[in-house]
Amino acid sequence: MNLTLRIWRQPNAETAGKLVDYQIHDIGKDLSFLEMLDVLNERLASNNEEPIAFDSDCREGICGMCGLVIDGVPHGPSQGTTCQLHMRSFHDGQTITVEPWRAATFPVIRDLVVDRTPLDRIIQAGGYISAPTGSAPEANALPVPKADAEAAFDAAACIGCGACVAACPNGSAMLFTAAKAAHLAHLPQGQPERKTRARGMVEAQDELGFGGCSTVGACTTVCPKDIPLATIAQLNRDVLRPARSR
């Protein structure tokens, strides 16, 4: 198929960016979207033009490194990550707009690459269980009901791609934060630090400049791992409940 790509080009955070059009021909429908960009980049580089910078690594939907806004939608038209999107989702002659994540907390580094380190800072503010190496009890000493383990896993599936922030009109990271809180709150091992964890992470996201959550739910429509909106309600409960009530 032949396509027109309208791609965001921006040399660095300090310089203004703009959309630039590229024509691309003879793209097979079995190519992934990122492989299509590889083909374009190979062409640009061969002509001594600067290739388009974009992030990707595992290319199987698990590392969370890739993330493009395609025709206005984070990760594009199919449910899943950008790397799992294939050209069969598009039609011949289509014009496709490609932009980076748009959020004040994710400054553009170059072209389609943004800085998502604020997400790491949220985890550093409490998104863990303090269990120094060597101090663990026997693994089966503490049974975890299967349903709890499953619910913990559903939340733990978050890949930290940041699509939720990019989709949110408030630029809130609440789904990301809630996913980590819910993962650990569903497990008995996570109980001792449950309240401090929830408060620590929420305070961190406020300090980092992420917006507040007004339960719009745009985050869940783009989340490639289907993190449920209910995790946010649970996080709110953990934050609002007085510290001494357990």
Per CB under 8 A, which of residues 114..173 are in contact with other proteins?
115-117, 119-120, 123-125, 127-140, 142-146, 149-150, 152-153, 156-157, 159-160
User: Residue count at the site for other proteins (CB under 8 A)?
Assistant: 79
* Nearest-angstrom CA–CA distance, 107 and 201: 21
96 near other proteins, judged by CB under 8 A: no
Between residues 23 and 135, which has the closer beta carbon with respect to other proteins? Answer: 135
The least distance separating other proteins from the CB of residue 243, rounded to whole angstroms, comes to 20
Is 14 one of the binding residues for other proteins (CB under 8 A)?
no
Confirm if 158 and 235 have CB atoms less than 8 A apart: no
Separation CA 103–CA 66 (nearest Å):
16
46 near other proteins, judged by CB under 8 A: yes
**Six-digit token string for 23:** 């024509």
Q: Which amino acid is at 110?
A: R
Does residue 25 interact with other proteins by CB under 8 A? no
- Alpha-carbon distance of 84 to 234, in angstroms, equals 30
Q: Shortest Cβ distance from residue 93 to other proteins (Å)? A: 20
**Phi, psi at residue 73, to the nearest 5°?**
-115, 125
**Residue 86 DSSP symbol:** B
| Residues 47-66 interacting with other proteins (rule: CB under 8 A) | 48-51, 53, 55-65
- Yes or no: say if 166 and 74 are a contact pair by the CB < 8 Å rule: yes
Binding range to other proteins, per CB under 8 A, among 83-91, 92-100, 165-173, 205-213: 83-91
